[in-house]
Structure 1
Amino acid sequence: MHRLYTKFGLPVIGLFEHLILIIITLATLVAIGQEVWLMISNRHVALADLLLLFIYLEVLAMVAVYAAEGQLPVRMPIYIGIVALARYLILDMKAMDDWRVLAVSASALLLAATVVVIKVGQSYFSTESDNGRSAR
């Protein structure tokens, strides 16, 4: 049973994995195109637009790292979350009450602290198998 799974199951899973990565890449490229078209048609570029493009860029980088290495550094989605929270603050700060601004800011700070903890943990507690890989 184990040999059958190794012979047929893993390649099928790998195929689906690559297919989903292609779908994510295409969907992200379409979203980038739509955002650029919106900026061109509005003849205006706002900071929120640029932050959204950075989110898309991070998604593409995440797909590239996953495709190249077969694993995803946990910090990459956290970076996306930090940028998304910053964008949310920029877009809706005037409509938010003080507690919501504080909560969103604290969330971004907590995510940033999480990145630092992960980075320090990788530096101090890496195993021999991690030595060949660079920390992201």
Structure 2
Amino acid sequence: MKSKQIEALREGMHDFAQSVGNLMVESFHYLALFGIGGITAWASVVAFLGMLEKGHITVDDILLLFIYLELGAMVGIYFKTNHMPVRFLIYVAITALTRLLISDVSHHHRPDMGVVYVSGAILLLGLAILVVRYASSRFPSVQAPMRLSREREREAGEV
């Protein structure tokens, strides 16, 4: 009889610790997402105001805004799904390399091996996107079971 009570107490303590741990992890998760989203929005506004202050906008500036847009979309998708889409990271890298390539060519006006290296890196990242898309369609990830709604959790706790 005592061992059943001790086991029930252990399970209760385990459930309590797991609930507190989940609360702390999810709180940090949302706080970090709001922070990253806010910093991304702030950086894009500062960049946009800098462009207006300059009086003209270059292709570099437009690509920088696309990078901020992709980062914001990444935060939004992660917030909604709790999954980080690797493709968006690759899109950000491609856009950043394209910005670097355009900036290098437009400022230095001389083609060299750096242009070839950056172009090759963009090509490799494009191929990586194809591989990731093919793999995700051919071998979809197993979805974790959906969490119970709060009402169902309360009902389950009352039974």
On whether the aligned pair clears a TM of 0.5, the verdict is yes
1:119 aligns with 2:157: no
1:52 aligns with 2:43: no
Counterpart of 1:45 in 2: which secondary structure?
coil
Is 1:15 equivalent to 2:27 in the alignment?
Answer: yes
Question: Is the counterpart of residue 101 in structure 1 residue 97 in structure 2?
Answer: no
Kindly report the root-mean-square deviation, in angstroms, between the aligned alpha carbons of the 2 structures: 1.9
**Map of 1:134 onto structure 2:** none
Offset of residue 126 of structure 1: 2.1
- Specify which structure has the bigger relative contact order, considering alpha-carbon pairs within 8 angstroms and separated by 6 or more residues: 1
Please state if 1:78 is matched with 2:90. yes
Deviations 1:85-135 (A, max 9, x none): 0000111225476221111111111001000011111122225649xxxxx
Q: Which runs of 5+ in 2 are unaligned?
A: 1-12, 145-159
1:112 partner amino acid: G
Structure with greater Cα Rg = 2
Q: Aligned residues: percent identity?
A: 35
How many corresponding residue pairs?
130
For residues 128 and 12 of structure 1, what CA distance do their matches in structure 2 show? 26
TM-score w.r.t. structure 2 length?
Answer: 0.75
1:31 to partner: Cα distance: 0.8
Identify the residue that residue 36 of structure 2 maps to in structure 1: 24
Q: Alpha carbons of 1:129 and 1:19: their partners in 2 closer, same or farther (altered >3 Å)?
A: closer
Deviant stretches of 4+, over 4 Å: none
Offset at 1:42?
A: 1.0
Please tell me the residue identity of whatever aligns with 1:61. Answer: A
Q: Post-superposition shift, 1:3?
A: 3.0
Unaligned runs of 5+ in 1: 131-136
| Aligned residue type for 1:28 | T
